[in-house]
Amino acid sequence: MPKVVALEEHFCIDELWGRQLGGIHERVYARLADYAELRLREMDEAKIDMQVISHAPPAAQNLPAADAIRLARRANEVLHDIVGRCPDRYAGFAILPTPDPAAAADELARAVEQYGFKGAMIHGLTHGSFMDDKRFWPIFARAQALDVPVYIHPGTPHPAATEAYYKPYSSMMTAGWAYTAETATHAIRLVLSGLFDAYPSLKIVLGHLGEGLPFSLWRCDQSLSRGNTMPRRFKDYFRDHFYLTTSGNFSYPALLCSMLELGVDRIMFSVDWPYASNKEARDFIDTAPISPQDRDKILSHNAAKLLKL
């Protein structure tokens, strides 16, 4: 079993590069498009044994359906080839053409059954809609049937939110706040929709130590559980169905809060490469005020169990 597994680590294909989130420096692209020498060197320098690779945002979430199907399939083929070159160092999360939910479910099955991918990553909204919309539920049904997780990753904020909340402060529109707020909202909506009652074995992964939700879990539970017809309390759904990664959030208080609220078995190491530093991520977890046993769980054991590595 790999000693260190990082599972929010990105790549991209040229056909989708022009659709990436704006303002990304070419140095980042050089890393996204590197599948061997530079990527492996930086992994080795930080003593990271395996990357679970996924396409960079916004992937295929906001394309016309036909383009989304074609390019998701193409990206998964490229990723399959990447993993095949270094199967002891790489694994994959599928990109899904969510504008066509039935095709997305089929692509997930193809990627898992034919390519051995470990789940899928979805980047934010699909043409303005959150994934709690029931037309997307076939994707989650397939994920449960395949026993693989779905990673909900930030994407471009909704234009109405951008206009109402973030204009003219452009720095708020990305990781500074908008990504966190929108992805946390996405997770809450999944719970309130009844998704986990319909699919009681479904597993969802959130990056960045849960997008702030562990810190607010008590308050969310008190408010969202009040007068709600859900069979269980909000906190129970969150603790039973969600896993968190450390990607791009190297904060000791945030880590300890997440461990206290969800337990260490729900937390996995990630970097958010190449947007964050492998070395910084390793230094953070290696020096965190936690036990060696908990550190081993976060670095590899939890991911190995969830992803069947």
**Edge-to-edge strand list for the sheet holding 267-268:** 94-95, 120-123, 150-153, 204-206, 242-245, 267-268
Any catalytic annotation for residue 221? no
Position 40 scores a pLDDT of 96
Question: What are the tens digits of pLDDT across the range 279-303?
Answer: 999 999 999 999 999 999 999 999 9
Question: What are the tens digits of pLDDT across the range 86-138?
Answer: 999 999 999 999 999 999 999 999 999 999 999 999 999 999 999 999 999 99
The percent of residues in the chain predicted with pLDDT above 90, rounded, is: 86
Q: How many helices (H) and strands (E) does the chain have?
A: 15, 9
Number of structural domains found in the chain: 1
Q: Could you tell me if 122 and 87 are in contact, meaning their C-beta atoms sit under 8 angstroms apart? A: no
Q: At 69, which CATH number?
A: 3.20.20.140
Question: What are the tens digits of pLDDT across the range 38-57?
Answer: 999 999 999 999 999 999 98
Instruction: Say yes or no to pLDDT of 202 above 70.
Output: yes
Question: What are the tens digits of pLDDT across the range 248-276?
Answer: 999 999 999 999 999 999 999 999 999 99
Residue 18's pLDDT band (cuts 50, 70, 90): low
Position 179 scores a pLDDT of 95
Position 20 scores a pLDDT of 47
Q: Is pLDDT larger for residue 284 or for residue 34?
A: 284
Position 255 scores a pLDDT of 98
| CA atoms 184, 206, 150, 114: torsion sign | positive
CA dihedral 215, 220, 222, 226 (to 10 degrees): -170
Averaged pLDDT, 233-261: 98
Instruction: Say yes or no to pLDDT of 173 above 60.
Output: yes
Element (H, E) at 110: helix 101-115
Q: How far is CA 218 from the centre of its chain?
A: 23
Instruction: Say yes or no to pLDDT of 66 above 60.
Output: yes
Position 15 scores a pLDDT of 86
Tell me what the pLDDT averaged over the chain comes to: 94
3-state helix, strand, coil in the chain (%, to 5): 55, 10, 35
Pairing of strands 90-92, 94-95: unpaired
CA dihedral 108, 109, 110, 114 (to 10 degrees): 120
What domain range includes position 141? Answer: 5-307
Position 45 scores a pLDDT of 97
Averaged pLDDT, 229-256: 97
- Among 272, 286, 294, 296, the active-site one is 272
